[in-house]
Structure 1
Amino acid sequence: MKSLLASTALVCLAAPTLALDCEGLTPEALGITGVTFTEVAAVAPGEESPVAQCRIRARTAERTGSDGKDYALSFELALPDDWNGDFVHQFNGGNDGEVKPATGALQSGTGDTSPLARGYAVVSSDAGHDGKANPDKGLAGGAAFGFDFEARQMYGYKAVEILQPLARQMVEAYYEKPVGHAYGIGCSNGGRHAMVAAERMPGAFDGLLVAAPGFNLPRAALQHALDVQAMTPITGDLRTAFSKDDLGLLAQGIRASCDALDGFEDGLVMDTAACQSAFDVTALQCTEGQNSGCLSEAQVSALQRIHAGPRGADGGQLYSDWSWDAGIEGGNWRTWKVESSIPPWEKMPIIGVMGAASLAQVFTVPPTEVEGAPMALSEFLLQFDIPAQAAEIDATSDAFPESPMQVMTPPGADDPELAAFRDAGAKIIVTHGVADPVFSVNDTARWYAALDANNGGKAGEFARFYPVPGMNHCHGGPATDAYDLFTPLVDWVEHGTAPEAVTAMARDDNADLPQALAGASRPLCPAPQVARYQGGDPKSADSFRCE
């Protein structure tokens, strides 16, 4: 009996003690104003949540916009019963406009266990607008918030500025304890949110995990127009410009030139820099009389234009060039640039629908009203005069006193130092798929190189960059795309252990994975190091070394 009582006492001591009761929780109980709770629920572990939590759904910053629409910053705050004392701000992607479940899980970089499941309090938001508020605008409705300047600001930077201190205050009031460490994580536009926060809010986060960052998003939107203009004339239909076999042939050509550069032919091009000079796409062009096993002259020309990136009237680079990588055959690459499997979109790719609507209505001044049908949106990109209209991403007006670039891009992104962030003791890890079809890994690599130069070659003391060979946008592609960079970030922030090589695994459910990589692992190396084969089991990351 004594033993049983002792065991029971231990269980009671280990059980979480919550300062406030979730049921009936109000803003007043948390000491906050200007916030409306729309739902408060004690959620048991299960399909809705990996752990027991108090889930608060709420909105703040309510207003009527210049377009006559109602706006608010809607958010979800997950407060786990077994709180570890820390906090995660989950930055979402795309055009935002939807409150994703607050778990902290990413498609790229957080591993198999979400921050919520690890005991972190997590907040997620819609960045200040409802993406379904304009159903009359069809497929352009998700970007229609761009006609209201303040909604653009919220999407660009203000939503995080407002929500971060508010959510932190709610966490600390609920548990009646201060937050130990604050982290921000996001992929794509979420990665951009994180990079903006590093510049605009250098003391707000102890650590940031940034994946596939669209930190030059308006410039990248110009690439959408270039892609459509380069590929559509090949067959007259963007969706048939490149078949799956065509892109597979291109990937084979890249592997033939570059796969062995890292010491082992496994389907992955690890030495990206060396590949750019080793591969010549014109070698795949059909010769006279050849009509199979090759690419047409029009296809080769389009690929060269796409990889060179958009140019201005003076020939200057408007966005970025792109790396040749075998991940170009990935399904995610195709869905973004060539053809989707979405019937309501008439199978147009994401750039031809969401990308077109965003360039028209969010990333240019003045915004352009566009018809929300797939072909009409694609036609907008076809007719967009890149050299003549590129200045619209830097333009201002009385109605839009900050340009799209000023709203969306981290201050100092072209010449980064992150001095205030660095001096606050914060850490940042950036990861990016080399075969990302949306945001060029070259742009991120140049950003990191400039950051390193501006820190006297010592950026690695607070920032690390991990390119992922073969990976598409946030995930997918013929790559080892399952990895955890959140745990090394936490170790770095809380214990001073700087991250080095991180093991990445091949996912069993990755349809793009070559058979040679089934069950394989590879090291992800902090740039500029490259994983090179040292001998041993070719399926194991231990057989490779970052050099």
Structure 2
Amino acid sequence: MVRGKLWGIGLVAAMAGLPAWMLVGASGELSAQTDRRDPGEACAALLQIGHPGIELTGGELIAAGPAPAPPGSAAAHLPEHCLVRGMIDRRIGAGGREFGIGFELRLPTDWNGRFLFQGGAGLDGQVTPALGTIANSGGPPALARGFAVVSTDSGHQGSMIDASFGLDQQARVDYAYNALGEVTAEAKRLLAAFYGSGAEYSYFMGCSNGGRQALVASQRLPLEFDGIVAGDPAMSFSRLALGEVWNMQVLARIAPRDEEGRPIYSRAFSDDDLRLVKESVLDRCDALDGLADGMINDWQSCDFHPRELVCSPGAEDNCLGEDQASVLDDLMQGPKTGSGRHIYGPFNYDTGIASSAWRGMRLGTSQTGEPNSADSSLGLGQFRFLQLTPPEPDWNPLSPYDLDEMLERLRHQGGMGDGDSPFLSTFVRKGKMIVYNGLSDQGMATPHIARWYEDMVAASGPDAREAVRLYAVPGMLHCGGGEATDSFEMLDAITAWVEQGEAPERIIARGDTMPGVSRPLCPYPAVARYLGGDPDQSESFVCSE
């Protein structure tokens, strides 16, 4: 059956009140009624098969052409496709604010039989174009590869860093997980109506919050997706948020104060301090994989501790103050319960600690008591509005609090949306999932994700290792960037695994900051180790523990 010519069968059937198979002859050829149907008419007619609670708009056929691209980057060529937009369960919520689950679906007329749910970013709030943009890939988006693609705003409208929607109960539920199920169901209904049959394979792919959503999909919708890619996932979201606001209190111990007594976070560590830490980490851990190349592959064996850099008596340069070393250690360990268990963390030491991204996350650049770090903006905002139950918009991160008691306030939202359940016994029976994280990710801790992976295998059975794999990317910051081979094809890897049974034993990675260099990404707990030969080529490395 040729997928590219099946548009309209199910739509004609739906409008005629007939099952789609009645419009296809015994030979599989389209009936004359469907064969004459123009794809533009079929696209527009999708709007006529709505149902209660669903508002559909668009219904327009988009001609093939270039996709919008950021300045300085090449535009991908998109195929002819049907564009439908929709709103599910529009309503008035807390504070008289209008809510609803917005989505966008793009259906190529030359379809490859695959469906992709494109994950969101930040706190969502916007329906980003459903092009199937693939994080860390230099290749064309999924739509240009023939996938049908859907995206969503997760149930509220606003800025991607505005957490005020968390004042509304249903908006919290929609953002946590409900929008994923609602949009998946509606997208698959419209897809089947347009093409005459459902997708042969369904995929979910996202990074950051999209990575959290990908994990939530495996945990709450275990039968909906054949393949999932979760990049740099914001898993344990409520605990991660607690870690971000806790960082502010930790840094305040050493940050100089303004005239009003407010900490100036950016001055807690200088750029020279952070470069010193980076170079010291490389000196200690770079060659553990057999090659000193500026990348720490064997991150699990790296035992650097900032106490090694404490100034000796009388020294002032090329060293850290004792209080700086203590604070840095706390930041990298993350908050702990009263019994000593990690709440979120620890973070591993890697080259990205000297990057502007790490500074921007933890310290910011403000030279006043008005902070501008990501911890103090996005982190604090979503903690106050979205994670605390009840929400507390004026909560002061520098006020005294007990971490164990705070966890009690977080468990309500965390139980809905954290995306860190280890029990995947249904998903792993038929699905495949790739999880990856940058070892220099300034927000997401690889050791925390690895701990979840081990818990998942223990809870779901040893066969889970053959269905879910975790990859750590040396030097990579959040969803890309850094001194790293941060370009790799996860969509190709997951489709080959799902459809041909080709398990990704090693995924080849390259990067703009390292021209001519390639490295294998290895499934945890294996790491890339240098065997000999050309140090720039992935063939010179083997994946081993």
Same fold (TM over 0.5): yes
Tell me the distance in 2 between the aligned counterparts of 1:316 and 1:14.
52
Which residue is 1:533 aligned to? 530
Instruction: Call closer, same or farther: CA 1:290–1:16 in 2, change over 3 Å.
Output: farther
Q: CA deviation at 1:226?
A: 2.0
Q: Counterpart in 1 of 2:12?
A: none
Matches within 5 A, 1:129-528: 129-132=156-159, 142-236=162-256, 237-275=264-302, 277=303, 279-339=304-364, 348-370=372-394, 380-383=396-399, 385-387=401-403, 389-394=405-410, 403-410=412-419, 413=420, 416-423=422-429, 425-507=430-512, 513=513, 517-528=514-525
Measure the CA separation in 2 of the matches of 1:335 and 1:464.
30
- Partners of 1:126 and 1:15 lie apart in 2 by 29
Letter paired with 1:247: L
The CA deviation at 1:116 is 1.1
Residue 184 of structure 1 and its aligned partner are, at CA, apart by 0.5
Distance in 1 (alpha carbons) for counterparts of 2:270 and 2:518: 30
Structure-2-length-normalised TM-score: 0.86
Quickly say closer, same or farther: Cα 1:143–1:281, change in 2 above 3 A: same
Change (3 A) 1:392 1:130: farther
How many Å separate the matches in 1 of 2:329 and 2:364? Answer: 19
| TM-fit CA distance, 1:66 | 3.0
What letter corresponds to residue 391 of structure 2 in structure 1? P
Query: Any gaps of 5 or more consecutive residues in structure 2?
Result: 9-37, 69-75, 257-263
Change (3 A) 1:117 1:25: same
Residues in 2 aligned to 1:245 and 1:103: alpha-carbon distance in whole angstroms: 41
- Code of the residue aligned with 1:357 in structure 2: it is G
Q: For residues 176-210 of structure 1, what are the alpha-carbon distances to aligned partners after superposition, in whole Å with 9 as ceiling and x for unaligned? A: 23211100011111111111111111100011001
Q: 1:465, 1:526 within 8 Å by CA — same for their partners in 2?
A: yes
Mapped to 1, the partners of 2:405 and 2:57 lie a distance apart of 43
1:322-367 Cα deviation digits (max 9, x unpaired)? 21222222332222222269x9x97711111011000001001110
Amino acid at match of 1:491: A
CA RMSD of aligned residues (A): 2.5
In structure 2, what is the Cα distance between the partners aligned to 1:330 and 1:33?
50
- Is contact 1:27–1:36 with CA below 8 Å preserved after alignment? no
Give per-residue Cα distances to partners, 1:148-191, cap 9 Å, x unaligned. 11000000000001110110111111122321110001111111
Shift of 1:431: 0.5
Looking at structure 2, the residues matched to 22 and 321 of structure 1 have their Cα atoms a distance apart, in angstroms, of 53
Contact (CA 8 Å) 1:263, 1:532: kept in 2 or not?
A: yes
Structure 1 segments (4+ residues) deviating >4 Å: 13-17, 30-33
Name the CA shift for 1:120/1:347 in 2 (closer, same or farther; >3 Å). Answer: farther
> Offset at 1:31?
5.2
Q: How many residues align?
A: 497
Mapped partners of 1:391, 1:543: distance in 2: 46
Contact 2:120 2:152 in 1 (8 A): yes
| Other structure's SS at 2:206 match | strand
Task: Return the alpha-carbon distance in structure 1 between the equivalents of residues 90 and 318 of structure 2.
Answer: 58
2:56 paired with 1:37: yes
Q: TM-score, normalised by structure 1?
A: 0.85
2-side partners of 1:54 and 1:456: how far apart?
42
Distance 1:121 1:346 in 2: 45
Could you tell me how far apart the structure 1 residues matched to 2:439 and 2:535 are?
21
Aligned pairs for 1:75-154 within 5 A: 75-108=103-136, 110-132=137-159, 142-154=162-174
Letter aligned with residue 406 of structure 1: G
Name the SS of the counterpart of 1:186 in structure 2.
Answer: strand
Measure the CA separation in 1 of the matches of 2:129 and 2:291: 41
Q: Structure 1: which amino acid aligns with 2:265?
A: L
Q: Which runs of 5+ in 1 are unaligned?
A: 1-12, 133-138, 371-378, 396-402, 508-512
Contact between 2:77 and 2:144, CA under 8 Å: does it hold in 1?
yes
* Aligned-pair CA distance for 1:524: 0.3
* Amino acid in structure 2 at the alignment position of 1:35: I
Identity, % of aligned positions: 35
Whether the aligned pair in 1 keeps the contact of 2:3 and 2:195 (CA below 8 Å) is no
